[in-house]
Structure 1
């Protein structure tokens, strides 16, 4: 098992990889104590049947520059293969503003190929590579050095088996003529907006029971301060203050340090210094925001006049269509999409792209009363009306 610790060796590997059609990629990282993921290890493999064409790259060696890897990521003649790429891509985007292109995510491809929702890597290794993974090193501390042989073996398996999985799924997608389906699904993963967190939008992730605009304005300011502070100090947002404390602060509206001291849920470290000052400033800003600038919850779906009977029929149609296409139903449409469709909404994902062909067109005909559903010989069929 070769471990790369120098820029020169990384450049040599990446130059060799550039001569192949694809390279498999994975990472090991820690995020429990930081806002941004701490990259601890990168695994890479070129096409092949053994470990000789796979390497471990140690970004913690102190002298390693990842520039050769990022050059490979920009090489559009080589497909970069990941499994469940979201967090890996975020690391590379935050570090260098790079998103590998072209990208292939085997988790997305597996859903399109009928392996179910959010299928795990271990499942694909068993079903496609016919191998078993050693999971003993899954929860180890990847920042500690030296790495054990067990850690190295575990990490390398994440890219060596991935080669067979990729080749199998790519071939199946080609035969099914579904490459465009995967490309459509990957647009979110390859968009830079996916990895940019705007502090002023952080409030939308906080669950509250009160929808008062003034209350939400204070929540917005408290969430924005927390996000900015966490980013600038590279600490988890919950280390600043947790959601329940944020909601408590928005309710009690502290005006002074003395008020903060009465909080039941605020961490001790947040009752003094920069965090305490930031809390008081955020509350003040939220209380003084002009009425027209206050945030308001999106109650669009709550106001929908859902037709329960039609929604149930759409669920039956979705199940039948998903079974026929051999894809996970949720990949085509969520339950909320079906409710929205039954209520008359048409600006939903299920009515665009490949979903329109597989499900959307017949769903619209069902909503318009042009077709019905019938059960025949254990199958649901569409009946023209």
Structure 2
């Protein structure tokens, strides 16, 4: 197995990969102690018989530039194949604002092809490549050098078996005519907005029971300060303060460092210095925020009156459609989608694109009383009323 540590060697490999239809990609990274992922290893492979078709790329080597790899990512003649690509793509976007295109995610494709929900790589290796993975190196420290033989073998397996998985799933999609389904699903992964963490929007991830506008205004300011502070220093946001402490601060509205000292949940190091000053400034800004600028919670779901009988019928219909199509239920519609449909909401993902073809159109007809459900042997079918 070859480890690439120079730009010249990476360029040579990428030049060969550019002659192929696809290249498989994976990464190993650490994120426990940082805000942004620390890229520790990149694995690449293409289909060839030379023995030089799979490599490890060491981004920690001081004289290595990833420019040749990013050029390959921009080459739309070569499909870039990942499994569960979200975190890998975020690394490359944060580093160079590049998103590999065209993109193929075998986890998404496997759900479309009937392998279940959020199917893992190990499962696909076992079912498609007919092999077993050695998982002993999964949680090792990938930043330490030199890598052990076990680590290198584990890392390469993440892209070598991926070739067989990709070819199998791509063939399945072509045969079933579902390539456009996967393309629709990958639109989110190909959207740069997916990887931008705007501090001004951080409050939307904080779960609270209190939806009072002023309270949410303070939550917004505290979340924005925390996110910006964590980004600037590249530390996890939980190292600044956790969500439960943030909600407590929004409730108690501390005005002084002495007030911060009374917090039950705030970390000791956050009760003084820059973090303490930031907290107090955020609380002050939240209290002073004009009424017109206060966050407005999405109350649409609170107003929805879910008809439980319709919701139950929709669940039966979804199960029948998913089994009939060989597609994971949750990929078609979430439980929240079904409740929304049963309450009359028509702005749901289940009514868009391929989901509407598979399930949404009949779901609407069921809600409108145009069709019913019947048992045909061991199957549930839709019947026109």
Normalised by the length of structure 1, the TM-score is: 0.99
1:296 CA displacement? 2.4
Write the distance in 2 (CA, Å) between the matches of 1:356 and 1:95.
37
1:362 aligns with 2:362: yes
Q: Give the secondary-structure state (helix, strand or coil) at the position aligned to 1:52.
A: coil
1:273 CA displacement? 1.4
Residue 14 of structure 1 is matched in structure 2 by 14
Write the distance in 2 (CA, Å) between the matches of 1:352 and 1:238.
36
Deviations 1:206-232 (A, max 9, x none): 111211111111011000000000001
Write the distance in 2 (CA, Å) between the matches of 1:56 and 1:244.
41
Residue 33 of structure 2 is matched in structure 1 by 33
Residue 152 of structure 1 is matched in structure 2 by 152
In the TM superposition, what are the counterparts of 1:1-385 in structure 2 within 5 Å? Answer: 1-48=1-48, 52-385=52-385
1:70 CA displacement? 0.0
CA contact (8 A) 1:51 1:160 kept: no
Q: How many residues align?
A: 385
Q: Give the secondary-structure state (helix, strand or coil) at the position aligned to 1:28.
A: strand
1:49 CA displacement? 6.3
Write the distance in 1 (CA, Å) between the matches of 2:48 and 2:163.
8
Q: Give the secondary-structure state (helix, strand or coil) at the position aligned to 1:366.
A: helix
Q: Give the secondary-structure state (helix, strand or coil) at the position aligned to 2:84.
A: coil
Write the distance in 2 (CA, Å) between the matches of 1:255 and 1:89.
41
CA contact (8 A) 1:4 1:10 kept: yes
Q: Give the secondary-structure state (helix, strand or coil) at the position aligned to 2:151.
A: helix
Deviations 1:341-378 (A, max 9, x none): 11111111111111111111111111111111101211
Q: Give the secondary-structure state (helix, strand or coil) at the position aligned to 1:185.
A: helix
1:51 CA displacement? 5.5
Q: Give the secondary-structure state (helix, strand or coil) at the position aligned to 1:216.
A: helix
CA contact (8 A) 1:115 1:327 kept: yes
Write the distance in 2 (CA, Å) between the matches of 1:278 and 1:87.
30
Q: Give the secondary-structure state (helix, strand or coil) at the position aligned to 2:52.
A: helix
1:262 CA displacement? 1.5
CA contact (8 A) 1:50 1:160 kept: no
Structure 1 window deviating more from structure 2 (321-330 vs 44-53): it is 44-53
1:274 CA displacement? 1.1
Write the distance in 2 (CA, Å) between the matches of 1:309 and 1:84.
36
Write the distance in 1 (CA, Å) between the matches of 2:147 and 2:328.
39
Write the distance in 1 (CA, Å) between the matches of 2:15 and 2:52.
16
Which aligned segments of 4 or more residues in structure 1 are displaced greater than 2 angstroms? 48-52
1:52 CA displacement? 3.1
Write the distance in 2 (CA, Å) between the matches of 1:34 and 1:50.
39
1:237 CA displacement? 0.2
Q: Give the secondary-structure state (helix, strand or coil) at the position aligned to 2:118.
A: coil
Structure 1 window deviating more from structure 2 (29-38 vs 292-301): it is 292-301
Q: Give the secondary-structure state (helix, strand or coil) at the position aligned to 1:181.
A: helix
CA contact (8 A) 1:4 1:57 kept: yes
Write the distance in 2 (CA, Å) between the matches of 1:68 and 1:93.
15
Unaligned runs of 5+ in 1: none
Normalised by the length of structure 2, the TM-score is: 0.99
Q: CA RMSD in A?
A: 0.9
Q: Give the secondary-structure state (helix, strand or coil) at the position aligned to 2:80.
A: strand
Deviations 1:42-86 (A, max 9, x none): 000011368531000000011100000000000000000000000
Q: Give the secondary-structure state (helix, strand or coil) at the position aligned to 1:55.
A: strand
Deviations 1:258-315 (A, max 9, x none): 1111112111211111111110000000001111211122121121011111111111
